[in-house]
């Protein structure tokens, strides 16, 4: 794996870890009521999406190993360009429903490269 591709995967992993830390012990009501919390989570999702976008440009095959990587990039674009229409329920749904799978896939790719 190219060093730059590994860096993007590491950036994704770091952003996921931050989202996990921000959300620990929190629920959707907490998310809705705290603008700083929402901003922090959204920012890390932007980093995830941007890193995957760059990974896809560098190594489409590697990016293709991440489930729904195109949707993740689209989600990033919505967070950045359509910020006024962000639905908190969707963001929280991604935190709870999609992030665990992405975390596992990124860990697997990083671990596989060490072998």
Domain edges within the chain: 3-114
Residue 102: how many other CB atoms lie within 10 Å = 21
Q: Check 6, 43, 71, 76 and give the catalytic one.
A: 76
Q: Is 43 among the residues known to form the active site?
A: no
pLDDT digits (tens, 9 = 90+) for 2-17: 899 999 999 999 999 9
- Any catalytic annotation for residue 114? no
Pick the catalytic residue: 81, 89, 107, 114? 81
CATH number for the domain whose boundaries are 3-114: 1.20.120
3-state DSSP of 11-77 = HHHHHHHHHHHHHCCCCHHHHHHCHHHHHHHHHHHHHHHHHHHHHHHHCHHHHCCCCCHHHHHHHHH
Dump pLDDT digits (tens) for 25-58. Answer: 999 999 999 999 999 999 999 999 999 999 999 9
């Amino acid at each position: 794996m190219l060093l730059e591709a590994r860096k993007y995967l590491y950036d994704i992993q770091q952003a996921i870890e931050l989202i996990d830390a921000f959300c620990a012990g929190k629920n959707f009501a907490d998310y809705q009521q705290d603008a700083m919390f929402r901003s922090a989570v959204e920012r890390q999702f932007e980093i995830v999406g941007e890193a995957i976008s760059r990974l896809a440009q560098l190594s489409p095959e590697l990016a293709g190993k991440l489930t729904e990587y195109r949707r993740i990039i689209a989600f990033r674009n919505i967070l950045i360009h359509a910020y006024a229409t962000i639905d908190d329920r969707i963001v929280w749904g991604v935190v709870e429903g999609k992030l665990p799978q992405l975390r596992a896939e990124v860990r697997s790719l990083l671990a596989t490269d060490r072998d």
